[in-house]
Structure 1
Amino acid sequence: MTEPVTITLAGPPQGKGRARAFLRGGHIGHYTPEKTRSYEGMIRTVAMDQMAGKIPFDEPVEFVLRAVFTAPASWSNRKRTQAYTGEIKPGKKPDLDNIAKAWNDALNGVVYRDDSLICRMTLDKRYGPQSLVVVTVRPMPTFRDSQVLEVAA
């Protein structure tokens, strides 16, 4: 497969929660919090619909993620406009790397064979009129592809 795959999930972006540890019968175990499992499940469902029977990438890929947050309702119209035009950035939780981790893990085996195939990541957090996350996964351009793109530009 050489065509990019774009997956959109409406709703507030969520980060991957830390694994929790427990002690039972003298043994330590770990589990992923329910909220994270649920969110990753929603991502996988949307990704499977988008893939529609296509074979996952088995080559180096580029991963592009954009997390969009709505501006707080308490903000003035002027401040909201500044947020939507990018003058104000969402320096708030969840951390961008944790959002990416949730998506990377959820797309394993669905969009790409393994997240070790990701060779380039572009991550972005911004404000917008609707909360959502948009992820595009595409094959990494080869050196020859890069030369063709430079000549064309």
Structure 2
Amino acid sequence: MQFFVEGIPVGKGRPRFMRNGHAYTPAKTRTYENLVRLRALEAMHGDSPFQGALCVTIVARFPVPVSYSKKRRLACLQASEKPAKKPDIDNLVKAILDGLNGIVFDDDAQVVQLSAAKNYAEVPGCEIFVSNADD
């Protein structure tokens, strides 16, 4: 299965704490996880979650900063330069896997192989591929 989540990819934010000690997930993270959930639901077409061991591949595409020169922009789009900036790739993966929980798979513990990359592209977003580990 594969699907695309439009928009600039967002990493999992650190939990925030209220004065009374309760923790909550930042709104930006919740919004992005909900968008991932929505696109996953559309891609699943009402099917039940995958069972067993899974492989997940995530390709995060970021926009080239507008301040870059034409030469540097071209280098970014040709993958000569990578987006070595925030969000950290592990936080990005965590936000996406949390968004897929309960929809594409029952628990992210089912993921036995994971591949993730950050690139520049004209159209920002995340391409997500999920397959059975046996395939």
Secondary structure of 1:23's match? coil
Structure 1 unaligned spans of 5+: 146-153
Q: TM-score, normalised by structure 2?
A: 0.95
Q: Spell out the pairing of 1:17-28 with structure 2 (5 A cutoff).
A: 17-24=13-20, 28=21
Identity %: 36
Structure 1 residue aligned with 2:43: 50
Q: C-alpha separation between the residues in 2 aligned to 1:75 and 1:34? A: 30
Select which of 78, 85, 89 maps to 2:78: 85
Structure 2 unaligned spans of 5+: none
Query: Is 1:106 the equivalent of 2:99?
Result: yes
Q: C-alpha separation between the residues in 1 aligned to 2:57 and 2:5? A: 14
Q: Spell out the pairing of 1:1-153 with structure 2 (5 A cutoff).
A: 5-24=1-20, 28-141=21-134
Letter in structure 2 aligned against 1:50: A
- Report the CA distance between 1:23 and its aligned residue: 3.3
Q: TM-score, normalised by structure 1?
A: 0.84
Deviation larger for 109-118 or 78-87: 78-87
CA-based RMSD:
1.1
Q: C-alpha separation between the residues in 1 aligned to 2:32 and 2:9? A: 9
Bigger Cα Rg: 1
